[in-house]
Amino acid sequence: MKSEYDLVVIGGGSGGYAAARKASGLGLTVALVEGARELGGLCILRGCMPTKALLETSNRMRAIHEANQFAIKVGKPSVDLDALRSRKSRLVEGFQHWRIKGLENGNFDLIRGHARFNDRHEIAVEGHGTLKAGAVMIATGSVENIPPLTGLADTPYWTSDEIVDLPRLPESMVIVGTGAVGMESAFLFQGLGSKVTIISRSRPLIANVDHAISEAMEKRCHDLGIEIIFEDPLARVDHRDGEFTLQLTSGNTLSCDQLVMAAGRKPNLSGLALEKGGFPADLERLKINEFCQTSQPHIFGMGDVSSPLAVVHLAVMQGEVAAENAAAFLQGREATARWEERLNIFGIFTDPELVEVGWNEEQARQRGFDPVSAHYRYDDQGKGEIVGEKHGLVILTADRKSGRLLGASGLGPHVIDYAHTILVALHQNLTVAEFLKIPSYHPTLGEIWTYVAEELLDKL
């Protein structure tokens, strides 16, 4: 460990690792400071990878239950929780191994300890003294956002951290929150056999997506027996003799074996002493520009501490952009690398999956476009009918004046996978007519994008 570096990166998750790797490749001397007990980052250890491993088993259980729709007679399946935990742990250990290898063998110094600012260019690292830095990157991720509900702190509620450990399979479960964690948790435990109820503060069920997509998800939940309580937030929590009693704002009560709090996450900025780095003491989220710079031009943000979406690919994109611009800053050059918000892709791994790519109609209108959209349903599409999709649909949005594609939404089987077709089209700034020149294999689920594009071209 040296005492001076061109760049100090605080946080060794996906964004921080990408930034350190890119910056060292550009010739900068880099220290990556990681204060977590385990190396690997949220996605690998407690987020994306373990949850998807568990959901894969849940989805297959659900498919067995629905097998009679495909002329298959089966008995009642059961899940081996010990074997499921072992499979998940084995997969996570493999993913973690490769990340640790990259962190420990990278062309940068890995320093284990909690970091905080002493001033704008000096970082104190617990147990390691201080580091001088020409530029600093903050990539400390996010933490659970737990609301201050009466009685909640005295109960054994679960968050996503407990869910990935799968302590047990409750008979009944209430989930507070309808973001990615809340919805994926609902489908995970419903598929494994729990009775699930979701508390949604507002309607539509899923915020910031097209209402038609949210309504389709609501219908799928109804088919599966997932109960949804709208616009009646949780007010008080009690726990006695292994049972939760939940009082809602209306005064109504319900009980369950397990409560899950999935009310979202917030940037993990505590303990950094950001005020010594030139930021307000009460800062709740780092604001960054298209170059990933904060209000302090030598300090960069990336990932969950600053992103509009808490997703890995965006953290990696921002980490690499920040690295290029940090090198430019240190060399006295103008920042030129940018991350593009319009290339966002966001997915929820329910059954079927939900995806948003680019801008939907409302978001496009807010940005000054004159958007026009078209819908197409899976139950009117060949492969969609074959796989038995009842409620799913896709939506494509374009600018009326130019015909250029602006975004897409979908609820359908494996729709996140083939939504990358639209992401490529957005990256290349294709018009709807240009997109339709790309052939699609028949019959496939991904072919549905051409169906909706033809509908959209007619409207244009």
- Asked if residue 11 and residue 78 are part of one domain, the reply reads yes
The phi and psi torsions of 269 (rounded to 5 degrees) equal -115, -5
- Asked if residue 375 and residue 315 are part of one domain, the reply reads no
Q: Which of 265, 274, 264 is nearest to 10 (CA)?
A: 274
What is the number of H-type helices and E-type strands within the chain? Answer: 14, 21
CA 179 from chain centre, in angstroms, equals 9
Identify the CATH number of the domain in which residue 134 sits: 3.50.50.60
Residue 341 lies in a domain: no
Identify the CATH number of the domain in which residue 383 sits: 3.30.390.30
Residue 204 lies in a domain: yes
- Asked if residue 160 and residue 119 are part of one domain, the reply reads no
Residue 337 lies in a domain: no
In whole angstroms, give the CA distance from residue 355 to residue 180. 11
- Asked if residue 247 and residue 157 are part of one domain, the reply reads yes
- Asked if residue 34 and residue 168 are part of one domain, the reply reads no
- Asked if residue 248 and residue 160 are part of one domain, the reply reads yes
Could you tell me if residue 154 is left (phi over 0), alpha (psi between -120 and 50 degrees) or otherwise beta? alpha
Residue 158: domain span: 152-263
- Asked if residue 158 and residue 129 are part of one domain, the reply reads no
The total domain count for the chain is 3
Residues 6+ apart with CB under 8 A from 335: 291, 293, 324, 325, 328, 329
Residue 40 lies in a domain: yes
User: What one-letter code names the amino acid at 356?
Assistant: E
Contact 304, 320 (CB under 8 A): no
HEC per residue, 82-110: HHHHHHHHHHHHHHHHHHHHHHHHCCCEE
pLDDT in tens, the chain (460 residues): 689 999 999 999 999 999 999 999 999 999 999 999 999 988 899 889 999 999 999 999 999 999 999 999 999 899 999 999 999 999 999 999 999 999 999 999 999 999 999 999 999 999 899 999 999 999 999 999 999 999 999 999 999 999 999 999 999 999 999 999 999 999 999 999 999 999 999 899 998 899 999 999 999 999 999 999 999 999 999 999 999 999 999 999 999 999 999 998 999 999 999 999 999 989 999 999 999 999 999 999 999 999 887 888 899 999 999 999 999 999 999 999 999 888 889 999 999 999 999 999 999 999 999 999 999 999 999 999 999 999 999 999 999 999 999 999 999 999 999 999 999 999 999 999 999 999 999 999 999 999 999 999 999 9
Contact 419, 410 (CB under 8 A): yes
- Asked if residue 314 and residue 219 are part of one domain, the reply reads no
Residue 95 lies in a domain: yes
In whole angstroms, give the CA distance from residue 162 to residue 159. 6
Residue 276 lies in a domain: yes
- Asked if residue 180 and residue 48 are part of one domain, the reply reads no
Residue 46 lies in a domain: yes
Residue 410: both structure tokens together: 């979908």
245, 263, 281 — which closes off a domain?
Answer: 263
Give the global pTM.
Answer: 0.94
- Asked if residue 360 and residue 451 are part of one domain, the reply reads yes
What are the C-alpha distances in Å from 176 to residues 98, 179, 192, 194, 337?
34, 10, 19, 16, 39
Residue 205 lies in a domain: yes
- Asked if residue 275 and residue 363 are part of one domain, the reply reads no
- Asked if residue 156 and residue 83 are part of one domain, the reply reads no
